[in-house]
Amino acid sequence: MPCMGKTMLADKYKNKKHVLVLGLESSCDETATSVVRRFKDGQIEVLSSIVASQDEIHAPYGGVVPEIAARAHMQKIEGLIGKAVDKAGVGWADLHAVAATSGPGLIGGVITGLMAAKGLAVSLDIPLIGVNHLEGHALSPRLTSDCPFPYLLLLVSGGHTQLLSVKGVGDFTRLGSTVDDAAGETFDKTAKVMGLGFPGGPAVERMASTGNPKAVKLPRPFFGKPHADFSFSGLKTATMRAYDKLDSNSKQDKADLAASFQQAVCDVLCDRTKYAMDKFNHGNNGSRRFVVAGGVAANACIRSALEALCADKNFILIAPPLKYCGDNGAMIALAGAERLVLGLVDGLDVSARPRWPLDQDSADKNPASGFGKKGPKS
C-alpha cells in the first residue's frame, strides 16, 4: 500500500466505522486463523475463529516436535485462511489489514504464518502487522469482555509465566517472570514422566480430579519471597522423584501425585500474584482489574484459586473464555486491529523472532532467563 506516516495511517483507520483484520497464528502446534471486526468505539466482534490442532501427530513423541509442527503449518495454513474468510462472510476486498504472529515461538512455524501474511498484504495491497504472540494473549480478554487499561496480567502458558502491568497496547511493565521453566512446560513434562499422554496440561488436570491434593508433600519455590518471580524447575524435579518412589503404580497413586502437583502450582501462582497485586496498586491509580491469560488459564483448579485470591484482595478477575485461552487466531487479529487504529503497522521486512519479550527494556537490562545471541527469553 502507499507509504504514509503513523499519524496519517492512524487517522485513516480510527475514524472508520469498523476495521476488519485477518489474524494468523502459527507459533507452536496450532495453526489458527480468524477474522475480527473492531468497531470505532472499541467493541470487538469475532466473525470466525478456526484452530487446527496437531495433538495427534505429536502425541507419539510426548511433546511438540518443531520440524513436524512446521510442516503441518505449511500444509494447513492456506486452506484455513480461506475458511476463515468464508466463514466470516466477508470478501477479500473487505479486509483492512492482515496480522500474523512474528514471535516468539518455534521459528519454522512463525516463518510459515508470517510469510503467508506478507503474501496476502502484497496481493491485497493492505497493511501488514507483525504481532507479538504474548501481546495476543495479553489482550485476549478484550475479545469478549470490557477490559479497560490498566490491568495486572498473569500470563501463564506453555512457554511463559509472567506478571505484567498492562497500561495500553504495546505498553507493558514486567513485575515478575519465571527464572527457569514455565508453568505449562512443567505440566507437560510431569504428564510425560507419569505416562499421562499429550497434551500434558489437560491430562494432569483430568488425573488430578480424583486425587488428594495433600497426599504428597512437594515444594513451593519462592513462596513468601518479597518479589514476583517464579521458579518451577525444583517442583518439576521433586514431582519426578516422588513418582519414582511410588510404592505402586496404581491409578489412585497417580491421581494423588497429580493433584498434589497441581495444588503446588496453584499455590505458587497465587502467592506470587498476591505480591504483584500489592506492587501494582501503588502505581495505577487504584485500578483493581486482574487478567489471567494463556493456555494454563484454562485449568479449572487454577482459575478457582485465582478467583478466591481476587475476592480476598478486592480485585476484579477477567479471563478469556476457554476457547481463547490456548493459541488462536482471534487474539492475533485483535492485537492487529488495535495496532492498526494506532497506525502501528510493519513493512515487508519484519522478521520472525524466536524470542521477543513483551517488556523489551526490562528484559535487556535484567533478563529473567535465557539470555543469549538471540536476546533474552523473558
pLDDT tens-place string over residues 68-127 = 999 999 999 999 999 999 999 999 999 999 999 999 999 999 999 999 999 999 999 999
273 lies in some domain? yes
What is the model's pTM? 0.90
Q: Which domain holds residue 265?
A: 148-319
CB count within 10 Å of CB 278 equals 10
Same domain, 164 and 123: no
Helix (H, G, I), strand (E, B) or coil at 91: coil
Q: Which residue has the cell 505480591?
A: 275
- Helix and strand numbers (H, E) in the chain are 12, 10
Count of the separate structural domains present in the chain:
2
Same domain, 303 and 164: yes
Same domain, 124 and 252: no
Same domain, 109 and 31: yes
C-beta separation of 99 from 335 below 8 A: yes
180 lies in some domain? yes
Backbone angles phi, psi at 248, to 5 degrees: -140, 170
Strand 44-53 versus strand 30-39 pairing type? antiparallel
281 lies in some domain? yes
Q: What is the pLDDT of residues 345-377, one digit of tens each?
A: 999 999 999 999 888 666 566 665 554 444 444
DSSP secondary structure of 146-192: --PSPEEEEEE-SS-EEEEEEEETTEEEEEEEBSS--HHHHHHHHHH
User: Considering just the CA atoms, what is the radius of gyration of the chain in Å?
Assistant: 21
C-beta separation of 13 from 340 below 8 A: yes
Same domain, 223 and 205: yes
Query: What's residue 6's pLDDT?
Result: 66
276 lies in some domain? yes
Rounded Cα distance between 35 and 9, Å, is 21
Residue from 244, 239, 241 nearest 258 by CA = 239
Same domain, 128 and 157: no
C-beta separation of 55 from 72 below 8 A: no
Rounded Cα distance between 212 and 260, Å, is 7
367 lies in some domain? no
Class of residue 371 by CB neighbours under 10 A (exposed 0-12, middle 13-18, buried 19+): middle
CATH number for position 262: 3.30.420.40
Same domain, 291 and 176: yes
Class of residue 87 by CB neighbours under 10 A (exposed 0-12, middle 13-18, buried 19+): middle
Query: What's residue 256's pLDDT?
Result: 96
377 lies in some domain? no
C-beta separation of 152 from 163 below 8 A: yes
Instruction: Name residues whose C-beta falls within 8 Å of residue 375's C-beta, 6 or more positions apart in sequence.
Output: 355, 356, 357, 363, 364
For the chain, residues with pLDDT lower than 70 are 1-8, 10, 283-285, 360-378
Query: What's residue 376's pLDDT?
Result: 42
**Distance of alpha carbon 45 from its chain centroid, rounded?**
20
Is the CA virtual torsion 65, 71, 72, 74 positive or negative?
positive
159 lies in some domain? yes
363 lies in some domain? no
